[in-house]
Amino acid sequence: MPEASEAEVVAYFEEHGERLPGLVFTAVGAYTGVAIDQDAVKAGDLPGVLIAPA
């Protein structure tokens, strides 16, 4: 929303804010093919993963 004013962004977030985390999880999962349980993230129940540098 680059053309939106700060007030418009705040109003949008207040109206749709509760849906945004689910939408982000869905979009990231669709893009990466990785499914992560949102409830597990909220609870802090995800295992740690170490990714070696390339």
Q: What is the residue range of 25's domain?
A: 18-44
pLDDT at 1: 63
In percent, how much of the chain has pLDDT > 70? Answer: 98
pTM listed for this prediction: 0.52
pLDDT at 5: 94
Residue 49 lies in a domain: no
- Quote the mean pLDDT of the chain: 86
Residue 29 lies in a domain: yes
Q: What is the identity of the amino acid at 2?
A: P
Residue 54 lies in a domain: no
Residue 53 lies in a domain: no
Residue 27 lies in a domain: yes
Residue 12 lies in a domain: no
Q: Enumerate residues 6+ apart whose C-beta is below 8 A from 13.
A: 20
Number of structural domains in the chain: 1
pLDDT at 8: 94
Residue 24 lies in a domain: yes
Distance CA 40, CA 36 (A): 8
Distance CA 5, CA 8 (A): 5
Going residue by residue through the chain (54 aa), what tens digit of pLDDT does each one get? Answer: 679 999 999 999 899 889 988 888 889 889 989 888 888 888 888 777 778 887
Distance CA 53, CA 24 (A): 26
Contact 35, 46 (CB under 8 A): no
